[in-house]
Amino acid sequence: MNLDDGQIIEKYGNIMDKYFRTCSLMYPCPLSISFVRSLKWLPMIDKIPFDMCIFVPPSIAKTSNEKVTLIHSDMPEFEFTICHNYMNRYLHPKLNVFAIDVNIHASAIVGCDGVHPVYAPDGTFIHTKHMSYVDVKSKVCIGAGATIQRGVLLPTILDEGCYIDTLCNIGHQAIIGKYSIIASGAIIGGSCIIGDHCFVGLNATIKNGVHICDNVIIGQGSSVIKDIVDPGIYAGFPVRFIKPYDMYFLSR
Ligand SMILES: CC(C)(COP(=O)(O)OP(=O)(O)OC[C@H]1O[C@@H](n2cnc3c(N)ncnc32)[C@H](O)[C@@H]1OP(=O)(O)O)[C@@H](O)C(=O)NCCC(=O)NCCS
């Protein structure tokens, strides 16, 4: 039998009384609730040094860690998200952080939500309340009309000196590396990591979760759907390696 939201909240009421916040297991916090989707997280769960409660799939039968309470669920992310939204229902997200020497156009939006649907068994989905923030480091520029989404549980980071051009979208929990340029119209999916000294060309798209190493140039209109682990110039749909990295390519 599938439980509705109210029944899930009632079922886990005692848990939500004991643990007072939610977190990502990438950065576990004491007395918080988190979730994992797969067995690969078990070694990490075994090492958590403080009290936590974690929604896990049935494949994680148990942990040797006595500090961690496991809640078994066929839908760990769904049940966690119901609890997360409920626990944070009256709380504001964390405030964005700006270095003092940033240059942000008045029409840019810093700290909007991104879409993070979590599907219910009946095919409807719930939106996960975004509780984290955008961390804008020193010398960052954000152009007109750009949108920078805040994170759900972890911050979105624009690292030192990076340049987000007009009309770009930076997805939630993405990290843009130092002195990287995201040219007009480019779309960076959620949880992407773009390395240092990269360039993402006009209207390019980077699939959510993709990691791009330092010193990579992505051609205009290109699409990156897999991690890029070697420096270079890449272009196409999906991208292919074109030639070695050249930091002066824009001025040639
Ligand atoms: C990727 C890029 C850097 C390559 O420039 P380049 O070194 O002069 O490369 P070339 O024009 O000699 O092209 C080399 C090959 O890549 C292909 N190619 C170049 N750019 C491409 C792109 N965006 N998408 C698909 N293929 C591309 C060319 O067709 C050519 O293929 P071929 O060898 O089969 O003929 C450039 O095309 C580009 O996209 N620059 C970014 C522009 C931009 O966003 N400017 C913003 C200014 S703020």
Render pLDDT for 22-65 as a digit per residue (tens, 0 to 9): 999 999 999 999 999 999 999 999 999 999 999 999 999 999 99
What integer pLDDT is reported at residue 5 of this predicted model? 81
What integer pLDDT is reported at residue 2 of this predicted model? 63
- Closest ligand 1 atom to residue 201 Cα is 44
Q: φ, ψ for residue 207 (rounded to 5)?
A: -60, 145
140 CA to middle of ligand 1, Å? 26
Which secondary structure element, helix H or strand E, spans residue 163, and what is its range? strand 163-164
CA distances 34 to 24, 183, 226, Å, are 6, 36, 27
Report CA torsion sign: 164, 170, 176, 180.
negative
Separation CA 176–CA 163 (nearest Å):
9
219 CA to middle of ligand 1, Å? 5
Give the right CATH number for 97-246 from 2.160.10.10, 3.30.2320.20, 3.40.50.280, 2.40.50.140: 2.160.10.10
Report CA torsion sign: 104, 108, 111, 115.
negative
DSSP 129: P
Q: Where are the domains of the chain?
A: 5-87, 97-246
Render pLDDT for 73-104 as a digit per residue (tens, 0 to 9): 999 999 999 999 999 999 999 999 999 999 99
Helix (H, G, I), strand (E, B) or coil at 27: coil
Helix (H, G, I), strand (E, B) or coil at 158: strand
CA distances 233 to 30, 108, 165, 193, Å, are 43, 29, 20, 17
Q: Which residue among 242, 245, 249, 252 is best mutated to probe the pocket of ligand 1, counting the most ligand atoms within 8 A of its Cβ?
A: 242
